[in-house]
A and B are shown apart, each in its own frame.
Chain A
Amino acid sequence: MVDKVEIARRFIEAIPHAKALGLKLTTISDGEAAISMPYNADLVGDPRTGVIHGGAVFAALDTCCGAAVMSHPSAPGGTATIDLRIDYMRAATPGQSITAHATCYHITRNVAFVRATAIDENQDLPVATAAGSFTVEGL
């Protein structure tokens, strides 16, 4: 089990854009994944407030959803996003890292369905939630 997490972590962290965002895979198993993104001044959307841009939150959620699909026991390997919708509940608190949690709650031969949330250190109200569908592909 430790090996699977380690392999998945290396896989995710080898993605050039995941590296650029500083994404760290913390959990991965059976269709669930968690990825954290440290606070980074380069990702700020409004310099007056220091709040992270929604686009960076989207990228973290998309990566996490893809990881959740790949970790599902019925998934043969690769995946690509078909569509992803994000609802932004509130601004992320400046200085705090953002963690995405994704669940692949259903998978067919062709399509995987995923839900995800993004939270910062205030875990009571998510920063954003996401829902999407992904392709199911062999490696």
Chain B
Amino acid sequence: MARPRPEPMQVVKQRRDAALNAIVEGVPYIRFLNITFDRRGDELTGVLNFDDKLIGNPLLPALHGGVTAAFLEVTAVITLSWEYFFPMIESGEIEAEELFQADSVRFPKTVDFTVDYLRSGLPRDAYARAFVSRSGRRYASVRVEAWQDNHARPIAQATGHFLMPQSKPKAE
């Protein structure tokens, strides 16, 4: 009655990283902002890699508020998608490569998004983490925060609601 032998680490890592890359690299806007994701187990941290084109106030200088919001929204959607697809990828129900090829694979859609600006974003990298407060059959509620040098001093926080992918042919 021994438990099944765990898969070799490289197999697990390779499958999970391939799935995350398929979700993230398929989106042109994420490449445009140069957002990447660090994965530790199932936990994701969004990284906004600084570039001069992300500046909104050249005098301070500070990150554009729209960039901060977009970074929070991208982190929220990717984290929600990751939690949604992770079990299907682990069970082999979906292959990572299919995510953006198959028309049947749908992603969560943003219904509304509210951003609180707490401090001005400095011209350097920023980090964000999202927490799925509830993910139901139709709707999900997600909280997300972003920080730079000090996690205890966030630059912005947001909450958003999302429409979850419907497995049946949708009635929108």
Which A residues from 64 to 84 make CB contacts under 8 A with B?
66, 80-84
**Which residues of B are found within 8 Å of A15, using beta-carbon distances?**
55-58, 64
Contact B29 A42 (CB under 8 A): yes
Q: Is the CB of A59 within 8 A of B115?
A: no
Which residue on chain A has the smallest CB distance to residue B105?
A48
Total A residues in contact with B, Cβ cutoff 8 Å: 37
Whether, in the assembled complex, B7 has its beta carbon less than 8 Å from a beta carbon of chain A, the answer is: no
User: How many angstroms between the C-alpha atoms of A42 and B53 in the bound complex?
Assistant: 14
Residues of chain A with a CB closer than 8 A to B31's CB = 42
Q: Shortest CB–CB separation between residue A12 and chain B, in angstroms? A: 11
For window 8-37 of A, CB contacts with B under 8 Å fall at 14-21
Cα distance A1–B16 in the bound complex, in angstroms:
58
Q: List chain B residues, Cβ under 8 A from A60.
A: 66
A20 to B53, CA, bound (A): 6
Judging by beta carbons under 8 Å apart, are B53 and A86 in contact? Answer: no
Contact assessment for A56 and B55 in the assembled complex, using a CB-CB cutoff below 8 Å = no
Contact with A along B108-126 (1 / 0, CB 8 A): 0111111111001000000
Within 8 A of A (CB), among B64-91: 64-67, 69-71, 73-74
How far apart are B3's CB and chain A's nearest CB, in angstroms?
40
Known contacts: A15-B58, A16-B53. The answer to whether A53 contacts B70 by CB under 8 A is yes
In the assembly, what is the distance between CA of A82 and CA of B116, in Å? Answer: 6
Whether, in the assembled complex, A3 has its beta carbon less than 8 Å from a beta carbon of chain B, the answer is no
Report B-chain residues with C-beta under 8 Å of the C-beta of A46. Answer: 27, 107
Query: Nearest Cβ in chain A — how far from B105, in angstroms?
Result: 9
**Is B29 a contact of A17 with CB atoms below 8 Å?**
no
* A residues less than 8 Å from B116 (CB atoms): 82-83
Is B103 in the interface zone, CB < 8 Å from A? Answer: yes
What are the residues of chain B within 8 A of A7 when measuring CB–CB? none
Q: For residue A66, which residues in chain B have a CB less than 8 angstroms away from its CB?
A: 65
**Binary contact track A33-51/B, C-beta < 8 Å → 1, others 0:** 0000000011111111000
Q: What is the bound-complex CA distance between A11 and B23, given in angstroms?
A: 37
Inter-chain CA distance A44–B74, complex, in Å, is 12
Q: Is A88 an interface residue (CB 8 A)?
A: yes
Q: Is the CB of B27 within 8 A of A45?
A: yes
Query: 5 smallest A-B Cβ distances: which pairs?
Result: A59-B66, A55-B70, A53-B29, A17-B64, A85-B114
- Told that A14-B58, A55-B70, A84-B69 touch, could you supply 13 new A-B pairs with CB distance under 8 A? A15-B56, A15-B64, A16-B54, A41-B28, A42-B28, A43-B28, A54-B73, A58-B113, A59-B69, A80-B57, A83-B114, A84-B114, A85-B112
Interfacial residues, chain A to chain B (CB-CB below 8 A): 14-21, 41-48, 52-56, 58-63, 66, 80-88
What are 17 A-to-B residue pairs whose CB atoms are below 8 Å?
A14-B58, A15-B55, A15-B58, A17-B55, A17-B66, A17-B67, A42-B28, A47-B26, A48-B103, A55-B66, A58-B115, A59-B66, A66-B65, A81-B65, A83-B116, A83-B117, A85-B113
